[in-house]
């Protein structure tokens, strides 16, 4: 007689399959949840991934956020379980770079993370409605005005979790700017003209400083900073250094800005619409000339010097004509005798250093000429027939 159950699974074995499937599901869930939990700890980020996070970890443990999980800032806030898992899964390719030590350097180039971090990363813990703001002495900060202008927290507070109080040791890594400096503020605040960023704010001292705050920096009190008809090399060195710094920063930003703007969230983030911030239009703080945070350089510097400062390219070839036209202008910097009566001899202090600046050069140039090599010294500026114009013809010579 044919078995009526032939062709059907053993009814005794069916519950066993269901049981093992349930066990497998439980194991999978346990492993998944355990993996997500363990890889979300600061221990995992700083010890397991220490090859790439070594520099960041040192600074992190010295910060006010040392007890906060790394993911609180580096994973978009308030994700549901599916999107959180997807966000973590997108980090899996980083394992290969960690194992092969092939991570892109420098880390967080040009403070890209701070410039693109959504405000929700900070406000999930910090609430300005019930938080007492304690700015530095003499500084006024209106956070409401900044928030209304959609200026997110990390645009200013970029080194809170990684203050970089220790030297960086990873090859190719670079120290980041601190956006809490005054020059960084002047990416938006300006005394005159458009700001270098997408934001524009007032640059008047009273907008950010309390009455009575000492506005003059200590560097300006140095003995050689500025003395009329004396040593003013201090402010000249500072101005030259600032010009060099801003030029280098502008060139750097021109090189990396487009590369940073091309960064996009990975596939799963775009598919699941995981919120990632957009790069703010803020160049490095280095593009701000520190002198311009207090002085409108086009009127203050040039108003005193009478011409473009620092001297532009090609100035050496032109400065003799300027000196002939306005010796007083040159003397403002180049007469170091302390006596304004000697302004007319300011050029002689460089070009006729063998002379006594307190005496007219014409009266003493004969002695200097006898004591020097005319071919190698005098003829660096003067043509060979220059002397004969006066000594032979008896007429006043031109400078050359």
User: For residue 252, what pLDDT is reported?
Assistant: 95
Place of tokens 């379980």: 81
> pTM for this one?
0.76
Largest alpha-carbon pair distance within the chain? 147
Cβ atoms < 10 Å from Cβ of 337 = 16
More confidently predicted of 390 and 56: 56
Mean pLDDT for 168-177 is: 93
Residue 88 has which token pair?
Answer: 């973590």
User: For residue 228, what pLDDT is reported?
Assistant: 84
Residue 234 has which token pair?
Answer: 């201090």
Calculate the average pLDDT of the chain.
84
Mean pLDDT for 64-70 is: 90
Mean pLDDT for 297-307 is: 86
Half-sphere exposure of 243 (CA within 13 A, CB side): 14
Residues 85-94 have pLDDT tens digits of: 888 888 888 8
Residues 1-44 have pLDDT tens digits of: 555 555 555 555 557 777 777 777 787 777 777 777 777 788 88
Report d(CA 300, CA 294) in Å as an integer.
Answer: 10
Q: Vertex 151, ends 147 and 152: CA angle to 5°? A: 90
Taking 90 as the threshold, does the pLDDT of residue 336 lie above it? no
DSSP H or E segment with residue 236 = helix 233-261
- pLDDT-based confidence at residue 112 (cuts at 50, 70, 90): very high
Domain boundaries of the chain, sorted by first residue: 22-293, 311-391
Q: Enumerate residues 6+ apart whose C-beta is below 8 A from 36.
A: 84, 85, 88
DSSP H or E segment with residue 201 = strand 201-202
Q: Enumerate residues 6+ apart whose C-beta is below 8 A from 181.
A: 285
Enumerate the β-bridge partners of residue 189: 201
């Amino acid at each position: 007689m044919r078995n009526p159950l032939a062709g059907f699974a053993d009814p005794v074995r069916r519950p066993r399959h269901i049981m093992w499937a349930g066990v497998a599901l439980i194991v999978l869930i346990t492993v998944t949840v355990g993996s997500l939990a363990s890889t979300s700890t600061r221990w995992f980020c700083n010890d397991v991934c220490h090859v790439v996070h070594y520099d960041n970890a040192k600074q992190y443990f010295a910060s006010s956020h040392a007890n906060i999980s790394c993911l609180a800032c580096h994973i978009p806030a308030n994700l549901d379980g599916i999107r959180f898992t997807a966000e973590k899964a997108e980090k899996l390719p980083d394992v290969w770079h960690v194992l092969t030590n092939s991570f892109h350097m420098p880390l967080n180039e040009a403070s890209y993370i701070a410039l693109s971090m959504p405000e929700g990363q900070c406000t999930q813990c910090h609430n300005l409605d019930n938080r007492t703001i304690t700015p530095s002495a003499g500084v006024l900060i209106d956070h409401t005005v900044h928030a209304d202008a959609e200026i997110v927290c990390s645009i200013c507070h970029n080194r809170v979790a990684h203050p970089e109080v220790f030297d960086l040791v990873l090859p190719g890594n670079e120290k980041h700017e601190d956006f809490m400096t005054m020059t960084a503020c002047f990416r938006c605040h300006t005394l005159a003209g458009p700001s270098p960023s997408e934001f524009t704010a007032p640059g008047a001292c009273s907008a950010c400083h309390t009455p009575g705050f000492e506005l003059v920096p200590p560097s300006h009190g140095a003995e050689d900073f500025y003395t009329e008809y004396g040593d003013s090399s201090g402010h000249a060195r500072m101005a030259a250094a600032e010009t060099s710094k801003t030029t280098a920063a502008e060139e750097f930003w021109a090189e990396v800005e487009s590369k940073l703007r091309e960064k996009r969230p990975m596939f799963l983030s775009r598919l699941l619409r995981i919120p990632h911030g957009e790069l703010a239009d803020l160049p490095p703080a280095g593009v701000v000339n520190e002198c311009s945070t207090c002085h409108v350089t086009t009127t203050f510097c040039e108003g005193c010097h009478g011409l473009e400062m620092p001297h532009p390219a090609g100035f050496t070839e032109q400065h003799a004509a300027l000196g002939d036209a306005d010796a007083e202008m040159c003397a403002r910097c180049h007469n170091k005798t302390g006596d304004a009566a000697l302004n007319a001899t300011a050029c002689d202090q460089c070009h006729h250093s063998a002379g006594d600046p307190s005496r007219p050069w014409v009266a003493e140039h004969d002695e200097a000429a006898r004591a020097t090599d005319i071919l190698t010294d005098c003829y660096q500026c003067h043509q060979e027939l220059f002397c004969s114009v006066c000594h032979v013809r008896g007429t006043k010579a031109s400078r050359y």
